[in-house]
Amino acid sequence: MGSREKAGTSGFRWGERVTSRAVGFYEVMDARAAVAIIAGLLVASWAVGRAVGGAGAVAPHWFYIPIVLAAVRFGPLGAFVAAAASMLVAGPLLPAETSTMTAQPLSDWLTRGAFFILIGQVFALASRQPAGARAQARRVTRLDHDLRHAIAHGELEVHYQGVFDIGGRRRRVIGAEALLRWHHPTHGYIPPDQFIPLAEQTGLIDELGERVLAEVCRQVAEWREIVESADFVAAVNLSAHQLADPDLGVRVRRCIDGAGIDPSQLCFEITETAVMADITVSRERLQALRDTGVSLAIDDFGTGYSSLAYVDLLPVDIIKIDQSFIARITEESDAAALVANTILLAHTLGYKALAEGVETPEQLALLRSMCCDQAQGFHLHRPAPPAEITTALKRQRRQRRQPRPARTVTSRRTARTRQSSRTLASR
């Protein structure tokens, strides 16, 4: 795409964004404030009409602005009141010629008034929505407005859930998944499942995703000081909207270079649904992303249109088995068989298998017996601010540096002490 074309498109997008934000803001603002704006525009229209020489010098089109605003926000009744008020202000109260103060003929302002009413009703009808849909649209617009405010004022935080290697004798934290947290000042905690889809709809996800990525890269650089190697990986969730961005690879590279981290320390998680939206484009984007040196994981595996035909086509490294299967593995043999076979499938294709949502020691033991490589879940670690991961990494470093004590028969007391000091690193 030529640069002029690009500039034109971005200018258009910018204009579109400003307009949609202004409309959104007007839709959710206090009703009294909206009435004040409409009344103010009416008076301003009258003043402009007078200043330019009266109704005869310029057609009073200005009055359509407050009428349309009233129609959009307050429906047919609001449009009628605004049209009637405009008819009066643009009629008997506006001279035909300001210099001579000649009054307008009655037929002129009555005809104009009829147009005001007609146009107002047409706009009111065109923007009419059922009461439920209007309320829902307002709720979405308000949430979008609040989300923008939250991003600008740093109300969003990135928490991390530890990812554990469960293949070895001793569990170790080998990575962490970045999960967004929003504490709304009045509505309290709003789960990402609610605001991420909204951000996807409005396109805000690009800005949100970029901020999360920048924060994760910064955090990884900090952890790198503790880990002293590049084998700690932070996972970042990517939405379908972000995956569709042709510049995704460039943006990622910029963030990685900016933070001075190793690309292998980042993993991007994409759901099957996001990938399947357009498998050809997804493959291209994923390949471009992987070419930067990061690793890729299929998130919530098993919940989308799982198909063997595409799994081996995608340039991925990890398959994350969805928590809905893990929740049933110790109770239902079908779920256990499905999980065991998914692990086998992952290994056959050269991928690692990660179990999501591990909540009990029994589930963990069963997954280990199935040769699952990695696990994540409340039993191992709940998502928390980054300080918890920092503490775990420091503990692991201390343990690594300590010379291993000569093997002795473990007394009951040491076994008990070890048990009580189970931590994020060793659980």
DSSP labels, 54-85? -TTTS--GGGHHHHHHHHHHHHHHHHHHHHHH
> Of the ranges 1-9, 174-182, 217-225, 363-371, which one interacts with ligand C2E (CB under 6 A)?
174-182
**Residue 193, binding choice from ligand C2E, Mg ion, none, Cβ under 5 to 8 Å by partner class:** ligand C2E
Detail the DSSP E strand segments found in 255-355.
Answer: 266-271, 295-301, 318-321, 352-355
Residue 361 interacting with ligand C2E (CB under 6 A):
no
Residue 193 interacting with ligand C2E (CB under 6 A):
yes
161 torsion bin: left (phi>0), alpha (psi -120 to 50), beta (else): beta
Q: Which of residues 212-251 bind Mg ion (CB under 5 A)?
A: 237
d(CA 72, CA 85): 17
Helix (H, G, I), strand (E, B) or coil at 396: helix
d(CA 202, CA 222): 33
* Chosen residue from 239, 265, 342, 363 binding ligand C2E by CB under 6 A: 239
Q: Which of residues 259-298 bind ligand C2E (CB under 6 A)?
A: 269
Q: Which of residues 27-66 bind ligand C2E (CB under 6 A)?
A: none
Give the x-and-dash track for 332-371 against Mg ion (CB under 5 A): ------------------------x---------------
**Residue 329, binding choice from Mg ion, ligand C2E, none, Cβ under 5 to 8 Å by partner class:** none
**Pick 175 or 383: Cβ nearer ligand C2E:** 383
Question: How far is the CA of 206 from the CAs of 238, 279, 297, in angstroms?
Answer: 10, 20, 20
Residue 144 interacting with ligand C2E (CB under 6 A):
no
Question: Comparing C-alpha atoms, which of 56, 108, 117, 58 is closest to residue 86?
Answer: 117
**Residue 359, binding choice from ligand C2E, Mg ion, none, Cβ under 5 to 8 Å by partner class:** ligand C2E
Residue 374 interacting with Mg ion (CB under 5 A):
no
Residue 269 interacting with Mg ion (CB under 5 A):
yes
Question: In angstroms, what is the minimal distance from the CB of 9 to ligand C2E?
Answer: 24
Number of H helices, E strands in the chain: 17, 9
Residue 217 interacting with ligand C2E (CB under 6 A):
no
Residue 357 interacting with ligand C2E (CB under 6 A):
yes
Question: How far is the CA of 245 from the CAs of 73, 242, 354, in angstroms?
Answer: 35, 5, 27
d(CA 85, CA 42): 8
Helix/strand/coil percentages in the chain, nearest 5: 60, 15, 30
**Residue 104, binding choice from ligand C2E, Mg ion, none, Cβ under 5 to 8 Å by partner class:** none
| Bridge partners of residue 321, in order along the sequence | 301, 355
**Residue 378, binding choice from Mg ion, ligand C2E, none, Cβ under 5 to 8 Å by partner class:** ligand C2E
Residues contributing to the site for ligand C2E (CB under 6 A): 161, 178-180, 191-193, 196, 212, 237-239, 269, 299-300, 323, 357-359, 376-378, 383
Residues contributing to the site for Mg ion (CB under 5 A): 237, 269, 299-300, 356
